[in-house]
Structure 1
Amino acid sequence: MTKAISGFSRLSKTEKIAWLTSTYFENPTQATQVLSSYWNDDKKLQQLHDEFIENTVTNYYLPLGVAPNFVINDRIYTIPMAIEESSVVAAASKAAKFWQDRGGFKTTVLGTTKVGQVHFTYDGDASLLTSFFESIKPQLLADTAAITKNMEKRGGGIKDITLVNKTQAVADYYQLHCTFETLNAMGANFINSCLEQFATTLKAGFEAEARFRESGANLSVIMSILSNYVPDCVVRAEVSCPVADLSEKNIDGAQFAKKFIQAISIAEEEPYRAVTHNKGIMNGIDAVILATGNDFRAVEAGVHAYAARDGQYRSLTHASVDDGIFKFWIEVPLALGTVGGLTKLHPLVKWSMELLENPSAQELMQIVAVAGLAQNFAALKSLTTTGIQEGHMKMHLMNILNQMEATDAEKQETVTHFKTNTVTHSAVVSFIEALRS
């Protein structure tokens, strides 16, 4: 049977599933049942999910958990986290509890500027183009008035437009580098609409100029698009306490601080470690971004570019001890929104926003940054003390048991056994096999 198909998008949902299951699966009935088992019985809710994207065949579930006890600027939050990885929510919760008794998290929004660019080529005299840009810049702003009107009423809008000469990097390449304030909206549609109008005005203005016709110069717009690199849309989150307050159980505060800072120093200088280090931060950040209906792919791309902004990929977090005070902080770019997109459509996104007491975009930036910092603290604390696997594998235990289709009784016995024994996949398998024999 051929696996190519014409007009797939025009098929009904039932027809799409019938073609997929009959073409790719040994048991089409069973494959169809897997898909239908994830449909929502509420037809209106299911239709909402069907219309989020194209060619929808079912819903894909991720666990939505919560991490309580986050004290952020003296206010207590319970943070929603959508993620499939074991131990992330538990680690965040543990870090929140640890810092709850040590002053909590402090946050500051350092900037909220977002960026978009019109990319174009021009093969004429650079000084002529610069003069033209200065003369047409007021028109660029005037022609977007209808687009920016409502945003400006709320205090946002276009911040600036500059002409950038990039011909040393790419032949004839120039750009309009544009900055925006979009307030509580992530702003992608707003920014892209402005950029496309800039491109239209730029091209029309160029073609109307006799001096360009006389010179024989050409201008061609390549594309107009926002950037997910937002180094001026940054939030800082930090924790601090006396070194002595880091002591707990058999951990000495001074020794803990020393090893912790050494671990950070390694991630600041060694890219192989920095990537995994920052992945742990993104465990916390992405989980909250997903739960609140924001674009985790855009945030990931921007964050990792920011981590390499000086030419080497480095840790996003930093630590120090000054005059006996331990400090741990992160500065991270986060272009987020609390209006538009899924924020008013997806029921669980709305639920998550209400759980966070309907934050503004700036407040959400702070909450998300704290989740990343907390996750990183928990990971480094484990790495530099007990090792990462002890806690992670205990959280992963239930996944192993479910893979083995363990009964409730087997799960109970296994959990009890591994309270005092090291969890590894092979150890769990051996224990279950012994129980069953």
Structure 2
Amino acid sequence: MKSRISGFYKLLPEQRLNKIASLLELSEEEKKIFTGEEGFTVKQADRMIENVIGYLPIPLGIAANFKVDGEDVFVPMATEEPSVVAAASHAAKLTYDTGGFTTSYSGSIMRGQIQVTSMVDTYGALARIYENKEEIIELCNAQDPTLVAFGGGAKDLDVHVVQGESEKMLVVHLLIDTKDAMGANAVNTMAEAVSPLIEEITEGKVVVRILSNLADQRIVRARATFEDPFQGNQTTMKKFMSANHLAVADPYRAATHNKGIMNGVSAVVLATGNDTRAVEAGAHAYASISGKYSSLTRWELKGENTLVGTIELPLAVGLVGGATQSHPVAKLATKILNVKTAQQLAGIIASTGLAQNFAAIKALAGEGIQKGHMKLHARNMASVAGAPDDQIDQVVEHAVKEQRFGFHDMKHFVELLRNNDPNK
């Protein structure tokens, strides 16, 4: 299977779906789930959260041209923001012939935090925790024999003394291998189950017992090479590198720079039914781990015209549990990705974030963000401005020709077409 499909963006939605379905052998029933004819219902939504009255559909697009760790892959992206899918596909195309994206994974360890207060001898309590480590780990693993059977479960402890406003506290970190699950439920269950034992050992009081979303032992890295992406234009290359340097040095720029990365990351996380808030919180916390908020990516020149980009971020994502299994569209999105492990999924997500970042800086170094973004946003704007479905493309044509994309401009183009309609 090749992820390169010429003119994919020019096809109608049903043609794109048919093309993907033929390549991935999707059934007619699965195709209907994507189009909304079958699949997610209010009844299913009511099982997922409280006080349900309906559900909010989000556009699901396919980023093409991706090659990750030597395998071609179509990347499903759920997002309401124009230009995100196009940008990722464009960047992936530019690195396809140089090998695409190469990834690495530090493992699937999550931290469960247990806060202990009201101790007489904080450092003595810390020592006693380590003295009883095996008993603590054994009790944790008794909570989830299935995870342990798959090679996961609690593996170690990490204990810290934290100075609070009024007292020293202990924070016990349970280091738990969650394998192909995101792991929140497993980690929280273990943390709660072991808390009475922790209180007994420390002679203190447990307050917080929950996982940490700063998954710093679940790090994913991706790398890609872009050969001569600006056709020898050294001015644009210099601007690209300058924008990158600002994101590394300045937290105000880094926040927007990383938001662009998360446009790609969160779109794939959402499409696969994973927890976007957990991933975003972890990524932004990791961007600050040095004590100063900075870029999640790094860009380097290799020679005069070759760019090497890398990304490093925590990604607590899984293939089992939660909406990844209960939401029919999320299950199919995972099928499109053809991934068998959380490691593969995380690698693709990180690669999408790196692609998104390249495309954003490339636009900033060239014509700016708005020109391309507003062009892709024009169809939505035309609809909001009152264009009927059969005239949206004509309104967009006017907008692109005159490079005017504001709401009042769209209203003007709609009125122009309406006044010139012979059937009026």
Letter in 1 for 2:259: K
Q: Is 2:40–2:327's contact at 8 Å kept on the other side of the alignment?
A: no
Q: Is 2:279–2:316's contact at 8 Å kept on the other side of the alignment?
A: yes
For 1:246, which of 202, 208, 229 is the aligned residue?
229
Letter in 2 for 1:173: M
Q: Which moved more, 1:53-62 or 1:167-176?
A: 167-176
Q: Is 1:67–1:80's contact at 8 Å kept on the other side of the alignment?
A: yes
Distance 1:256 1:122, change over 3 A: same
Distance in 2 separating the partners of 1:318 and 1:351 = 33
What SS class does the counterpart of residue 144 from structure 1 fall into? Answer: helix
Q: How many residues align?
A: 382
Q: Which residue of 1 aligns with 2:118?
A: 122
For 2:81, which of 77, 81, 85 is the aligned residue?
85
What SS class does the counterpart of residue 336 from structure 1 fall into? Answer: coil
Q: Is 1:139–1:201's contact at 8 Å kept on the other side of the alignment?
A: no
Q: Does 1:345 align with 2:345?
A: no
Letter in 2 for 1:235: V
**Mapping for residues 147-158 of structure 1, pairs under 5 Å:** 147-158=143-154
Q: Is 2:40–2:329's contact at 8 Å kept on the other side of the alignment?
A: no
TM-score, normalised to structure 2's length? 0.85
Q: Which residue of 2 aligns with 1:132?
A: 128
Gaps of 5+ in 1: 1-39, 207-217
Distance in 1 separating the partners of 2:110 and 2:166 = 24
Deviation at 1:364, TM superposition (A): 0.6
TM-score, normalised to structure 1's length? 0.82
Q: Is 2:67–2:101's contact at 8 Å kept on the other side of the alignment?
A: yes
Deviation at 1:41, TM superposition (A): 8.2
For 2:206, which of 221, 227, 235 is the aligned residue?
221
For 1:65, which of 40, 61, 65 is the aligned residue?
61
Q: Does 1:289 align with 2:272?
A: no
Letter in 2 for 1:236: R
For 1:366, which of 322, 347, 356 is the aligned residue?
347
Deviations 1:104-140 (A, max 9, x none): 1111113432111110113312343234223322221
For 2:176, which of 158, 172, 180 is the aligned residue?
180
Letter in 2 for 1:380: I
What SS class does the counterpart of residue 190 from structure 1 fall into? Answer: helix
Distance 1:143 1:45, change over 3 A: same
Q: Which residue of 2 aligns with 1:25?
A: none
For 2:49, which of 50, 53, 68 is the aligned residue?
53
Deviations 1:161-217 (A, max 9, x none): 1332113665131111221111101111111111112212122445xxxxxxxxxxx
Q: Does 1:387 align with 2:372?
A: no
Letter in 2 for 1:167: Q
What SS class does the counterpart of residue 294 from structure 1 fall into? Answer: coil
Q: Give % identity.
A: 38
What SS class does the counterpart of residue 246 from structure 1 fall into? Answer: coil
Deviation at 1:42, TM superposition (A): 6.5
Distance in 1 separating the partners of 2:253 and 2:283 = 16
Distance in 2 separating the partners of 1:44 and 1:397 = 29
Letter in 2 for 1:414: V
Q: Which residue of 1 aligns with 2:287?
A: 307
Distance in 2 separating the partners of 1:43 and 1:278 = 34
Q: Does 1:199 align with 2:195?
A: yes
Q: Is 1:74–1:104's contact at 8 Å kept on the other side of the alignment?
A: yes
For 1:142, which of 117, 138, 141 is the aligned residue?
138
Q: Is 2:387–2:395's contact at 8 Å kept on the other side of the alignment?
A: no
Distance in 2 separating the partners of 1:362 and 1:237 = 12
Distance in 2 separating the partners of 1:150 and 1:408 = 53
Q: Does 1:232 align with 2:214?
A: no
Distance in 1 separating the partners of 2:123 and 2:343 = 40
CA RMSD after TM alignment: 2.1
Distance in 1 separating the partners of 2:195 and 2:264 = 38
For 2:387, which of 395, 406, 410 is the aligned residue?
406
Gaps of 5+ in 2: 1-35, 420-424
Q: Is 1:379–1:388's contact at 8 Å kept on the other side of the alignment?
A: yes
Distance in 2 separating the partners of 1:349 and 1:383 = 33
